[in-house]
Each structure stands twice: as C-alpha cells, then as structure tokens.
C-alpha cells in the first residue's frame, strides 16, 4: 500500500471545467480565435499562461508579454467570479467517503494542481479538511508535464515519490507523475492512456489499486 496519494483537483475530485471554458471562450472571442469544446480540451492540465499560448497558436497570433499577462488576469478574474457559485454540494459523497477512508488507513493525501485557485476551491467546497498538504500553481515555476507540482507535494508530505501515487485525469498529469517517479493512476480521459500504471473509472476504485 502507498504511504501517500497526490490528487489533481479539477476533473478528479470535482469539475469546474465549464467555468474554465466560459472564461477562456470569452478571451478567445475577444481575440477572434474560434474556440469550442474540442479546443478547450487542449487546455486541460496546463497552466494559465500555457493555455493562453495554445489559444494564440490556434489563431496564429503573437502578442507582447504585457498584453498576454493582462489577458490571463482577465480570464482568471472571470473564472474566480464564476467559482464563487461553488458549494460543497458539487463534491460527490463517493469522493468524500474515499478521502475519509484513505485518512482512516493512515495514508497522507495532498493536492497537486497547476491551478492558482486550488486553495479557494478547496475552501468553497469544504474539501480542505481532508488534505495534509496542497501543492498548486502558487508554489511552482513549471507546469505539467513537468513533475514539479507533484514532487513538491510529496516533499510537503515528507515522503519520497516511490511511496506515493498520483491520481490524474489529464495525459499531461500522467506524464508528470511518471517523470517524477510516482505510481500513476488515470481516471476520466487519462484512464485510457496506456502510460498510466493503473486505471480507474470511479474514484472509490482507488481503494483497491493502491
């Protein structure tokens, strides 16, 4: 059994994907870049600035750094405004029961998310109580598939990567976990990724694969 588990947040424990999509689409519309749900999938698991670079690439656009920073700030402000509608009800009982059981087994758990809003989301959804550590976009300089966010998460838990599992729904996240020497578990889209060490359909199945 693993001593620690590091969870990606969005898409694994809950979903704010629709809020991300709405906020990014408003930015893409301003830039005149066609942007739908297919394009939105390209942004999953990557940082805010990297997401903007993808959108700019779709439109063959090049912008000064200060303009790009302004655009990412506007996107985030719109996303954070949408986040205020989050309540604990968006988290399923299955997720809460799984986290409680992990704690009962003495397994340390952390968040490993590229989002700079992870702590806000945890607070709004009453998930913060379950986690021993949070590694997020506020303490990293490289986004997934770089393993930094997970390596720092393991460090915050006081554990080495080889005794930790990472649960991810994005291919970039599985690549990051593998690069860091973690046991990678895919859920959602990542459950079909052949580089994941294990795959689950439902979060409760995690209890059988660690």
User: 111 and 98 in one domain?
Assistant: yes
Percent of the chain with pLDDT over 90: 92
pLDDT for position 46: 79
Q: Examine the fold and report which residue of 68, 83, 98 is the final residue of a domain before the chain moves on.
A: 83
User: 115 and 61 in one domain?
Assistant: no
Q: Is the pLDDT of residue 45 over 80?
A: no
User: 77 and 103 in one domain?
Assistant: no
Domain that includes residue 33, residue range: 17-83
Q: Examine the fold and report which residue of 61, 83, 105 is the final residue of a domain before the chain moves on.
A: 83
The backbone torsions φ and ψ at residue 133, rounded to the nearest 5 degrees and listed phi first, read -160, 155
pLDDT for position 47: 81
DSSP calls for the chain: --SEEEE--BTTTB--HHHHHHHHHHHHHHHT----HHHHGGGTTS-HHHHHHHHHHHTT----HHHHHHHHHHHHHHHHHHHTT--GGGS-HHHHHHHHHHHHTT-EEEEE-S-TTHHHHHHHTT-GGG-SEEE-TTS-SS-TTSSHHHHHHHHHHT--GGGEEEEESSHHHHHHHHHHTPEEEE-GGGGG-TTSSEE-SSGGGHHHH-
User: 195 and 131 in one domain?
Assistant: yes
Q: Is the pLDDT of residue 32 over 80?
A: yes
CA triplet 156, 159, 165: central angle to 5 degrees? 100
User: 155 and 79 in one domain?
Assistant: no
pLDDT for position 2: 96
Helix axes 17-31, 65-83, angle to 10 degrees: 140
Question: How far apart are the C-alpha atoms of 34 and 36, rounded to whole Å?
Answer: 7
CATH of the domain at 195: 3.40.50.1000
Total domains present in the chain = 2
Catalytic residues, which ones? 8, 10
User: 191 and 149 in one domain?
Assistant: yes
Question: What does the pLDDT look like over 76-133, one tens digit per residue?
Answer: 999 999 999 999 999 999 999 999 999 999 999 999 998 889 999 999 999 999 999 9
User: 119 and 72 in one domain?
Assistant: no
Mean pLDDT of 9-16: 94
User: 26 and 110 in one domain?
Assistant: no
Pairing verdict, β 183-186 and 108-112: unpaired
User: 151 and 60 in one domain?
Assistant: no
User: 72 and 172 in one domain?
Assistant: no
User: 123 and 22 in one domain?
Assistant: no
Question: What does the pLDDT look like over 135-147, one tens digit per residue?
Answer: 999 999 998 899 9
User: 103 and 66 in one domain?
Assistant: no
Q: Is the separation of the CB atoms in 168 and 203 below 8 Å?
A: no
Q: Examine the fold and report which residue of 83, 100, 116 is the final residue of a domain before the chain moves on.
A: 83
């Amino acid at each position: 059994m693993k001593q620690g588990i590091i969870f990606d947040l969005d898409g694994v424990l809950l979903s704010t994907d629709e809020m991300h999509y709405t906020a990014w689409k408003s930015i893409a519309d301003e830039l005149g870049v066609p942007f739908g749900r297919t394009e939105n999938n390209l942004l999953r698991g990557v940082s805010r600035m990297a997401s903007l670079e993808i959108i700019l690439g779709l439109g063959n656009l090049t912008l000064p750094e200060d303009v790009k920073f302004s655009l990412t700030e506007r996107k985030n402000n719109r996303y954070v405004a949408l986040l205020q509608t989050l309540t604990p009800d968006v988290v399923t009982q299955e997720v809460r029961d799984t986290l409680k059981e992990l704690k009962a087994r003495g397994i340390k758990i952390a968040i490993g998310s590229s989002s700079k809003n992870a702590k806000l989301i945890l607070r709004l959804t009453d998930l913060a109580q379950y986690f021993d550590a949070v590694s997020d976009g506020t303490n990293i300089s490289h986004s997934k598939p770089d393993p930094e966010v997970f390596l720092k998460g393991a460090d915050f838990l006081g554990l080495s990567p080889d005794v930790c599992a990472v649960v991810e729904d994005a291919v970039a996240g599985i690549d990051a976990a593998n690069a860091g020497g973690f046991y990678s578990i895919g859920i959602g889209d990542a459950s079909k990724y052949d580089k994941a060490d294990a795959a689950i359909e439902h979060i409760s199945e995690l209890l059988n694969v660690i």
